[in-house]
Amino acid sequence: MAATAHAAAPSMSSAESRWTSACAVAVYFALAKLLIHFLANGQYGYFRDELYFLACGEHLDWGYADHAPLIALAAKLSRAILGDSLFAIRFLPAVAGALKVLLTGLMTREFGGGRFGVALACLCVLVAPAYLATDNLLSMNAFEPVFWMGGAYFLILAVKRREPRFLLGFGLCAGLGLQNKHTMLFFGCGVVAGLLLTPARRLFLNKWIWIAGALAFLIFLPNLIWQQQHDWPTLELLNNVKESGKNVPLSPLQFFGQQFVILLPLTAPVWLAGLWYFLFDAEGRRYRFLGIAYIVVLVLMIALKGKSYYLLPIYPMLFAGGAALWERVLRGRRYVGWLRVAYPLLLLAGGSIVAP
């Protein structure tokens, strides 16, 4: 009898650890994100862009002049399965927001973060006003971070575990990301530059990165063919926007400064620490290509007069790296342990005050 009880103890302990593990913490925050949007997504009326995407969903095609085709398919599926209520059309954006939080937690764990690090990174994503807004509307912007950070996660796995077949996941995310929004090209350019400028360039000697590139191209090809058949309307639209002066140009300082505002200024110590982690920290050195990717995308957005929120999809990986670094810095320090409680509470308070 005693032997039976003794044998059962490890399994109970194992079950408890599963419920309290870093991965479990990421799941809890993802569920919290989902609940927030399920409760809030009926509180605001239809946004005009949502009506347009619903109309596009009734005329499915491989391309449109001003956006890639995936959002129209999402609108069509939402309407066909759930109806056209506010909750129904915003269901998939809410799920995408939850996936973004989950990916943030998983990346933090790969960077060596424990429960505190995962909780901190996920909390930063949870309270950022820009994410609360975009994940509450049917638009490409809700899905975009999932493809960017999904790709980043597979790159991290390929580098950390020295298993290049994970690059196929990056190719899948890149291809689907291009079918969602063409700005996936910016992240791709940043990643390629980051890989070429760091020891991770050895990945280009492996067949899997080229197979991944081919996979991304094949997924994107139908939209590319549509563009060619219709005389490249998206390029014409972008040129017209540029000539019309529709987008208010921001100086580099203004553009970078707005990143602090849209992400909540209180989260800055985490994502700035993430940039430091990738570029200068010894433990983050193997992921330096991600820090370079951020800088490249930032410079491209500024040079092309992009809107400040165009950079939103890249920040979850900075939150992940920064949270892992802060957890390591605070570990075992007697006189700053209070920060592990006070700072998350401050984030919650700040996020609640400025929430859309």
Q: Is the dihedral of CA 238, 244, 246, 252 positive or negative?
A: positive
Report the pLDDT value the prediction gives residue 15, as an integer from 0 to 100: 53
Asked if residue 14 is part of any domain, the answer here is no
Asked if residue 6 is part of any domain, the answer here is no
Report the pLDDT value the prediction gives residue 335, as an integer from 0 to 100: 76
Counting beta carbons within 10 angstroms of the beta carbon of residue 209, is it exposed (0 to 12), middle (13 to 18) or buried (19 or more)? buried
Query: Which is nearest to 188 in space by CA: 162, 215, 207, 226?
Result: 215
Q: CA 23, CA 19: separation in Å to the nearest integer?
A: 9
Asked if residue 69 is part of any domain, the answer here is yes
**Number of domains present in the structure of the chain:** 1
Report the pLDDT value the prediction gives residue 245, as an integer from 0 to 100: 65
Distance of CA 280 to the CA centre of its chain: 22
Asked if residue 12 is part of any domain, the answer here is no
Asked if residue 296 is part of any domain, the answer here is yes
Asked if residue 3 is part of any domain, the answer here is no
Which amino acid, 157?
Answer: L
**DSSP code per residue over 165-182:** GGHHHHHHHHHHHHHH-T
Provide the token pair at 231: 């005389």
Asked if residue 5 is part of any domain, the answer here is no
Report the pLDDT value the prediction gives residue 14, as an integer from 0 to 100: 57
> Helices 339-354 and 115-127 meet at what angle, rounded to 10?
20
Report the pLDDT value the prediction gives residue 355, as an integer from 0 to 100: 81
* DSSP H helical ranges for the chain: 2-20, 22-40, 48-57, 70-82, 86-89, 91-110, 115-127, 129-134, 140-160, 167-180, 184-196, 207-229, 233-244, 252-262, 268-279, 288-303, 315-330, 339-354
DSSP SS3 for 151:
helix
Provide the token pair at 111: 């960077």
Domain housing 145: 21-331+338-354
Provide the token pair at 155: 């790159």
Asked if residue 7 is part of any domain, the answer here is no
Report the pLDDT value the prediction gives residue 184, as an integer from 0 to 100: 98
Report the pLDDT value the prediction gives residue 339, as an integer from 0 to 100: 86
Residues of the chain with pLDDT under 50: 1-10, 12
